[in-house]
Structure 1
Amino acid sequence: MQLLVNVDHVATLRNARGEGYPDPVEAAEVCEQAGASGIVFHLRKDRRHIKTDDVHRLKKHVNGTLDFEMAATNEMIKISKAVAPDLITLVPESREELTTEGGLDMEVVYDDFKNRVFPAYIDTDIAISLFIDPNEEDIELAAELGSDAIELHTGTYANAETEEGKQKELDRLKAGAKQAHELGMKVNAGHGLNLDNLRPLVERVPHLHDISIGHALVSSALYHGLDETVQKFLHIMRTTKQTTT
């Protein structure tokens, strides 16, 4: 199980003043030195945080897994193929949203992904992951497309207001992870995870490979420092007994 740190909101802080700092590439280097296995970034159409230049610099400086989150537009396909990250994670994207609000609607995107998107990567070594909710039908369609991995959307779990709601979502995530694993896909997870809700996820959900954490980690780093905060998340991942069933 690997921790991938999303550095988008380091760029958000930089862009607030239009200065060159804090630099998301420098933050990525600190995270990897602290033990993170790689870096995640989301290059949006409006470039609200990560810029195109950041993407190329991250490719140059990141030593571990580089995960390029993106909408499946022709522009992003062209950029991702030029950059050649280890992994692309295809996500839904709308201009008005503050952050990604849910998983892909696989029934809606299936034909387009089959005929346009997936064929674009046949001649590359770039792995493809789909950001989806833990729905049986969506996971099945991801497998039919030949996706290398899925990233389970953990936002509904993270935002559940009651313990009953959290347990219900953990059950859904567990079932989704088992299904994806049995279908031969890697199981990644992310969205809304923090120091309080990470441990129950790791305890209950099997087969987790990459866990992507960004906003909460960067927020905690304002108080505790980036190095220490990465190590806090890693400590949870390393000391939590993981289920295998």
Structure 2
Amino acid sequence: MTVLSVNVNKAAVLRNSRGGRHPDPLALARIALAAGCHGITVHPRPDQRHIRLDDVLGLPAVSGDAEINIEGNPFAPAREGYPGMLELVRRVAPAQVTLVPDGDGQLTSDHGFDLNSDLSDLKRQVRAFKQFPLRLSIFVDAGSSGMSQLAEMGVDRIEIYTGPFADAFARGDYHRELGACRRTALEARDAGLGVNAGHDLSQDNLDCLLQELPFIDEVSIGHALFCEALLEGLDTTVKRYLRILDRQRSAQQTAASSR
């Protein structure tokens, strides 16, 4: 079963553009959870351009039994207003942490770890984060190989960067990028890793991805979901995503029963 984690960073971008407290990302997290989503994702950055320390620390009070997923660059040093990923994990105790190689100057995450050159540095980070009782995911590019090495390090899941697939889907020529997602997902599954996916997924392209990869464990969606919610309302938007996931689940159950 694929679950939906709603990334509320975009609400914080809107709040920070004006200052003050509104819209409150935690209030929107409550709405998304009440609508039925399965978890909340945040991606705090050292420059505090969107989600801030107080937002992250407030998440456990609103999440209830839903999972918290904290994304971020494990190599970014602590600074004023940002205590570093490890300290955030220590304070919040999220169910999942997703390590992402984004630099301070990046507008958004736009690539995964290079598993040829980053492995030795990642090993140290994996050991540090796995001292906590959490699920550890590594952000990787579609088409990446080397999943067995991640499994040997103690990683639990990968998250496939789906930005190129989403761009190709919008152009109407997505089969190559979808194939790259499939190759990496299958290699990860064969290595015993779970598979998440995220970045630029939307109501338009999510069905296509899940038809090809019905074993994806989790999709993390923020930017497109909040853009759609501006037009349709957050409650309606979350429920529409959940209907997509329900259709895939029903199709899998039907296929299993016909064997």
TM-score (norm 2): 0.88
Q: Which residue of 1 aligns with 2:197?
A: 189
Separation in structure 2 between the aligned mates of residue 7 and residue 42 of structure 1, nearest angstrom:
9
The alignment status of 1:131 with 2:139, answered yes or no, reads yes
Separation in structure 2 between the aligned mates of residue 138 and residue 163 of structure 1, nearest angstrom:
30
Separation in structure 1 between the aligned mates of residue 149 and residue 20 of structure 2, nearest angstrom:
43
Q: Which residue of 2 aligns with 1:77?
A: 86
Tell me how far 1:179 sits from its aligned partner: 1.4
Counterpart residue type for residue 73 of structure 2? A
Tell me how far 1:3 sits from its aligned partner: 0.6
Separation in structure 2 between the aligned mates of residue 163 and residue 108 of structure 1, nearest angstrom:
33
Separation in structure 1 between the aligned mates of residue 133 and residue 151 of structure 2, nearest angstrom:
18
Q: Which residue of 1 aligns with 2:42?
A: 41
Separation in structure 1 between the aligned mates of residue 98 and residue 144 of structure 2, nearest angstrom:
19
Separation in structure 2 between the aligned mates of residue 97 and residue 10 of structure 1, nearest angstrom:
19
2:110 alignment partner, SS class: coil
Once the two structures are aligned, what percentage of the paired residues are identical?
A: 37
Q: Which residue of 2 aligns with 1:104?
A: 113
2:117 alignment partner, SS class: helix
Q: Which residue of 2 aligns with 1:2?
A: 3
RMSD of equivalent CA atoms: 1.7
Separation in structure 1 between the aligned mates of residue 244 and residue 41 of structure 2, nearest angstrom:
20
Q: Which residue of 1 aligns with 2:57?
A: 56
Task: Tell me which of 110, 122, 129 is aligned to 1:121.
Answer: 129
Q: Which residue of 2 aligns with 1:157?
A: 165
Counterpart residue type for residue 219 of structure 2? I
Is the contact made by 2:73 and 2:103 (CA closer than 8 Å) also made in structure 1? no
Task: Tell me which of 176, 179, 190 is aligned to 2:187.
Answer: 179
1:128-161 per-position Cα deviation (integer Å, ceiling 9, x unaligned): 1001013342423322322100001111100115
Is the contact made by 1:133 and 1:153 (CA closer than 8 Å) also made in structure 2? yes
Q: Which residue of 1 aligns with 2:218?
A: 210
Count of residue pairs brought into register by the alignment: 242
Task: Tell me which of 189, 206, 226 is aligned to 2:234.
Answer: 226
Separation in structure 1 between the aligned mates of residue 113 and residue 233 of structure 2, nearest angstrom:
34
TM-score (norm 1): 0.93
Separation in structure 2 between the aligned mates of residue 234 and residue 43 of structure 1, nearest angstrom:
26
Counterpart residue type for residue 3 of structure 1? L
The alignment status of 1:15 with 2:16, answered yes or no, reads yes
Separation in structure 1 between the aligned mates of residue 136 and residue 15 of structure 2, nearest angstrom:
29
Counterpart residue type for residue 222 of structure 2? G
Which stretch has the larger CA shift, 191-200 or 166-175? Answer: 166-175
Is the contact made by 2:111 and 2:140 (CA closer than 8 Å) also made in structure 1? yes
Is the contact made by 2:74 and 2:85 (CA closer than 8 Å) also made in structure 1? yes
Moved over 3 A (4+): 161-164, 240-244
Q: Which runs of 5+ in 1 are unaligned?
A: none
Return closer, same or farther for 1:45/1:202 CA change in 2, 3 Å cut-off: same
Counterpart residue type for residue 76 of structure 1? M
2:197 alignment partner, SS class: strand
Separation in structure 2 between the aligned mates of residue 227 and residue 215 of structure 1, nearest angstrom:
15
2:217 alignment partner, SS class: strand
Tell me how far 1:162 sits from its aligned partner: 4.0
Task: Tell me which of 151, 161, 182 is aligned to 1:143.
Answer: 151
